Structure formats: structure tokens, C-alpha cells
Amino acid sequence: MPALLIRNTRYEIYFCNGFSSMTKKIRRIGLLTGGGDCPGLNAVIRAVTKTARSRFDIDVVGVLDGYRGLIEGNVKELTWSTVSGILNRGGTILGSNNRVNPKQYHVGHDDDGTPQFEDATQRCLQTIEEHKLDAMIIVGGDGTMSVAESLLRSGVNCIGVPKTIDNDIVGTDLTFGFTTAMTTATLSLDRLHTTAASHHRVMVCELMGRNAGWLALSAGIASGSDVILIPEIPFDMEKLCEYVDGRQHRGRGFSIIACAEGATEVDGDKHVRLHDPLSPDPIRLGGVGAHVADEVEKRTGIETRTTVLGHVQRGGPPVAADRVLATQLGWASMELLMGGGHGRIIVVQDGQLNDIDIRTVANKQRLVPLDDPLVKAARSVKTSFGD
């Protein structure tokens, strides 16, 4: 399908199990924000709702708290007044949820405490039918899109809008929320820089990034961090400590280490904080920053401190660039839907809006290539990756 194909059609063609069927004109759509929250979600909600109502005279129904709302039938009408004044607000007025997967919905425990799950896809379909939703606009990351793929197989047309602060969705160069998170992380690293210089310390800042290091890499470069540790490049603790010790003895007097939560040592494992058996993704990472700080201080004798930014990176109002991008993506999702799009997700490629099959995004992640220009640029200014 060409990018943002727009057709003057009053019907949508659904493809289910290899067969196509003509359905009635689209009059009502559902809008859902899944996964973790991020800056710019409200801008998408605003753009979808206003475009749907003003351009296409279509009703918009917001699904509350991600897929939980679709399972439990918890929805509300979105009107012009509902979405007015939310462009600059962080989070999502619909609520979100990254612990609910309709394909594995927690319904209780056995007598021995073992969690019990069921496939709640049919309950999602019942909500869609009950509220007469002719299509769904689904905003989320790879996990959210994997559920959208199952809804597609059940005959529900879904249009995706990519969202994540990690910028790790396959097929798109940029996701809204990333620029804001990168800015927040950069400003935090800047503040650590002044403290490190004043006290002649090593400061380790643990950032989000389970498997993809785009956030730590970009914020590390923007802040002038001396060391950047990302999941894609395993680090050698001995080489890392030698680099930090060398800076100290060359008169630098301090070092800043930007460390993604998924960073690992060579032949090492990720640092797991806890296991949550009720979550679709049960492993929660955390602790690599503290581990690095402990080892650096023990091996070099340099006073070292750790800061974990955590959910601070997700919060707050979106920066201007994310407001613009989110508005474009929300508008484009409606144009794509009404132009005949089916099972597609809006993406940014080479600075242009395009669309690709949701199935190419579901349960996949865009990782940092070892020869990425950002990695090369960082190495050229003598930034260490601990390798």
C-alpha cells in the first residue's frame, strides 16, 4: 500500500482468513492507549478525536486503561470538549496498562497459589460489538501491537500508532515520547555532571532500556557522558575501570557513566530486580547501575555514586517536537483508516510518514546496530562503551 493512501470510499474492506468482506460505513471507532505511558499520548488522542469528528463525522470511543478496558467493557465517549486542552499534558487521559494481555488474562489463583490465566480475546470482541465499533486505533509498542494482531485475525480492523520512549519499534525511525525522555535524561545527566566535577566523583546514571540502548546512547552523547553502556555492546569491567582511572589521573577529576538498565558485562546476564508472574513480561530489570558503581569504587578507589532515573523519564509534558509528531501520527492514522487501510501501523521513515503491516512490528524490537552512526560519532569523541 502506498504511504497514507487516501480513497474516497464509504466502505472498509476487512480481510479475515484469506477472505474479504464489505462492511458498512465506518461510523464509530475505538481508541486505546496500551503499554507504559509516555509523553505525547494525549496529543495523539486529541488529534484522532478531532480529526475523526471534524473531518469524517465519526464518533470516537475511548477504551480506558488499555486492554483491561476492552476486556471489562470500560469505555467513554470522546468529544471535542473532552480532548480540548490536553495537548501539553503528559500521560494519557484514557489511562494505560502494561500488565494485561487479553491472550493471557489473569483470573485468579489455584489453591496452591499458582496464577490462573484465560484467553479473554472473546470478551474484547464482545465490547467492540456492544459499542458498535467499526475499527480500532491502537497506540502502543511491540507488545500492544502483538495483541492488535490477534484482534485482526478475529476480524477487527486495527490501525496502529507507534509509541515508546525506547524508540525500539521495528520499521520506524522515531516514536513520539522518545525525544522528551531523551531530553529529561540529558538534563539529569547534566546535573550529575556538575556534582561529579565538584566532588571529583564518578557518577553512574541508570536509564531505561531493557534490550535497546537508543535512550542511553542518545542522552549519553547529548550530555557528553564519558562512558555509555548499552545492551547491544557488552562491557568489560576491567577495561571500564581502567578508562575511568585513566581519566582521573589525567586530571579530569571525575567521570559520568550513562548506563541502560539492560546493559551486561561480557558473558554476563542482565540484572533482574524481581519476577512478576502476573505480568505478560515477568522480568523487571534493575541494579546494573549500582553494580557498576560498586565495582568502579572497589577497583579504582574513586568515590562513586549511583542515580536511577526510573519513571521520571516517562513523565512530564511532551517537548514541542513530540507534540508535533504525535499530532501528525494521530491525524495520519485517521487518514489511513478512512483511505482503506487495514492492519497497518503509521511509521516515520527517512523523515516521511509511511505505513507498514502491523505484523512486521508485533513482538519485535529495533536494536542499536554496532556500526550505527551514533555509535561511531560517540567513539570518535573518545566516549567509551566499556569494550
Residue 111, C-beta contacts closer than 8 angstroms, at least 6 positions apart: none
Active site residue 322: no
What's the helix, strand, coil split of the chain in %, to 5? Answer: 35, 25, 40
Instruction: Exactly one of 134, 166, 168, 226 is catalytic; name it.
Output: 166
Q: Which of 141, 130, 7, 135 is nearest to 60 (CA)?
A: 135
How many helices (DSSP H) and strands (DSSP E) are in the chain? 11, 17
**188 in helix, strand or coil?**
helix
Q: Would strands 158-162 and 344-349 be described as parallel, antiparallel, or unpaired?
A: parallel
The H or E element that residue 373 is part of is helix 373-380
The C-alpha torsion from 197 through 209 and 271 to 375, rounded to 10°, is: -60
DSSP 335: H
Cell of 115: 496464577
Q: Which of 383, 387, 36 is nearest to 216 (CA)?
A: 383
The H or E element that residue 214 is part of is helix 214-223
Residue 187, C-beta contacts closer than 8 angstroms, at least 6 positions apart: none
Enzyme catalytic residues: 166
